[in-house]
Chains A and B, each alone.
Chain A
Amino acid sequence: KQEVTQIPAALSVPEGENLVLNCSFTDSAIYNLQWFRQDPGKGLTSLLLIQSSQREQTSGRLNASLDKSSGRSTLYIAASQPGDSATYLCAVREGSGGSNYKLTFGKGTLLTVNP
């Protein structure tokens, strides 16, 4: 059974710092990996999606990498801002696509960026 782990569970940094969030998964047979942001009491917003054949994706100050063989992904946030404070979750879609759409989430990293 796929298990997704996110480290650290919580992170507090001063504004302006660059930071890295980690996600690891036990079964490397994944179709894609997605990073989400969740604000308190709200739904999830997709940040970046990496297909299993890709190594990284970038959007603005965010960069996500994927090393499928080692079962790891990182989310790099450059020049952090207080507005980046939220819980960040990663999720893996299993299998080779098609009709298999099981998604497994990590428990998230709670990020606080202090002014």
Chain B
Amino acid sequence: EAQVTQNPRYLITVTGKKLTVTCSQNMNHEYMSWYRQDPGLGLRQIYYSMNVEVTDKGDVPEGYKVSRKEKRNFPLILESPSPNQTSLYFCASSIGTASPDTQYFGPGTRLTVL
């Protein structure tokens, strides 16, 4: 089954404790991206990647890191999480360079930083 998976689905952590949220897709997609969704602010793009070793900032990259060492994986790293990073995070992927470039979303990771 074609899908985007995220782990963990729920995470409660404390300020300053490094964490990684994994994202994996099995569709051989070139493009992958991370978003956060907050009430009243909607979905905002954090980082995206057009291919292996190619990443770029979205609208809200501060406090986040990403890496794209393999085509299927695109982990989101919070080196020193803070309470304002409490949010619902989504990973997405798409073909990238072909049309139609439909976005496929993961189920989301709900992160709470205390």
Residues of A participating in the B interface, judged by any CB pair closer than 8 Å: 32, 34, 36, 41-46, 49, 51, 89, 91, 93, 97, 99, 101-108
Contacts and interface: CB of A to CB of B under 8 A. Distances in A.
Chain A interface helix/strand/loop/mixed: strand
Interface in B37-76: 40-45, 48, 50, 54, 56, 58-59
Contact of B50 (A101, A105, A106, A108): A101
A43 B50 contact: no
Given A34-B103, A49-B102, A102-B58, A43 B45 contact: no
B103 A46 contact: yes
Contacts of A99: 50, 54, 56
Contacts of B107: 42-43
Nearest to B54: A99
Interface of B: 4, 31, 33, 35, 40-45, 48, 50, 54, 56, 58-59, 90, 92, 96-97, 99-108
Contacts of B54: 99
A108 B54 CA distance: 30
A103 B100 contact: no
A70 B33 CA distance: 28
A45 B105 contact: yes
B31 to A, nearest CB: 6
Contacts of B97: 97
